[in-house]
């Protein structure tokens, strides 16, 4: 399979994620421990999942709105598992509302609030080591919501934490109806939205990071660029 080729153009957002001031204005939904070590953002659950169940998971939003036709890049460091890591993108409130419109129901990190609640988004899970079946056959899953539609998946090359050699350079492209995902320049999946099967094609929106407890991971060098050219 030949993947379409994209070129990054103007950088519209760049964040080293290396100290507290770099996440000022970000919005946490749920409970998480946020710290900085070795000039990286470290994220982990604050609540014990054995006690609090789904309430132990959370989402951390960059509050900036991003346009369509962008390339999102970041460095990922898995530290402790089991767990799951995910990114939301092209995220908006339903009916054209802003994601943080006060009229929307409060979100507290529970997954159904994000995939079948009052928001529309694309979301991609790329470190699915939470449950035994996920670890036995690892995939990266792309879903479109509202509605929890699994629209594409690909093999996950990320190893267990004990074998990891981070940073893993992750790249996510959202270009009109097309989504493309790669790790260390290895193509993982590409999907083209027909605009009918799961509702209209999404445009721009917000970006958010999600982890399922007890996952601990670090992030660095988040960058969002406009796409200059398409081959």
- For the record, the structure tokens of 209 come out as 């990071």
Distance of CA 116 to the CA centre of its chain: 17
Q: Which of 37, 91, 93 is nearest to 210 (CA)?
A: 91
Q: Which residues of 169-185 are buried (b: 16+ CB within 10 A; e: fewer)?
A: ebbbbbbeebbbbbbee
Mean pLDDT of the 89-98 span? 96
Q: Which of 30, 39, 3 is nearest to 154 (CA)?
A: 3
Q: Which of 83, 193, 180 is nearest to 138 (CA)?
A: 83
pLDDT in tens, 32-83: 999 999 999 999 999 999 999 999 999 999 999 999 999 999 999 999 999 9
pLDDT of residue 228: 82
pLDDT in tens, 103-129: 999 999 999 999 999 999 999 999 998
DSSP structure class, residue 136 = H
Q: What is the domain partition of the chain in residue ranges? A: 6-230
Pick the CATH number of 6-230 from 1.10.443.10, 2.60.120.200, 1.10.3720.10, 3.40.50.300: 2.60.120.200
Contact (CB, 8 A) for 154 and 140: yes
Q: Judge if the upstream peptide bond of residue 62 is cis by omega within 30 degrees of 0.
A: no
Mean pLDDT of the 93-99 span? 95
Mean pLDDT of the 144-156 span? 96
Q: Can you tell me which residue has the tokens 């990266």?
A: 140
pLDDT in tens, 176-220: 999 999 999 999 999 999 999 999 999 999 999 999 999 999 999
pLDDT of residue 176: 96
């Amino acid at each position: 399979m030949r993947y379409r080729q994209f070129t990054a153009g103007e950088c519209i957002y760049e964040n080293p994620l290396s100290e507290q001031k770099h996440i000022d204005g970000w919005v946490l939904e749920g409970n998480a421990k946020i710290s900085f070590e070795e000039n990286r953002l470290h994220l982990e659950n604050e609540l014990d999942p054995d006690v609090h169940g789904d309430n132990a998971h959370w989402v951390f939003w960059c509050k900036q709105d991003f346009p369509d036709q962008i390339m999102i890049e970041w460095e990922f460091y898995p530290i402790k598992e089991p767990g799951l890591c995910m990114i939301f993108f092209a995220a908006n409130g339903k009916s054209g509302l802003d994601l943080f419109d006060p009229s929307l129901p409060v979100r507290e990190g529970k997954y159904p609030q994000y995939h079948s609640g009052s928001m529309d988004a694309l979301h991609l899970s790329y470190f699915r080591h939470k449950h035994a079946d996920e670890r036995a056959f690892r995939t990266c899953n792309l879903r479109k919501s509202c509605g929890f539609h699994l629209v594409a998946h690909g093999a996950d090359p990320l190893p267990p934490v004990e074998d990891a050699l981070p940073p893993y350079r992750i790249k996510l492209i959202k270009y009109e109806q097309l989504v493309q995902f790669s790790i260390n320049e290895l193509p993982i999946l590409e999907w083209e939205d027909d605009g009918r099967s799961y509702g209209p094609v999404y445009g721009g929106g917000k970006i958010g990071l999600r982890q399922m407890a007890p996952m601990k991971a670090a992030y660095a060098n988040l960058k969002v660029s406009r796409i200059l050219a398409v081959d």
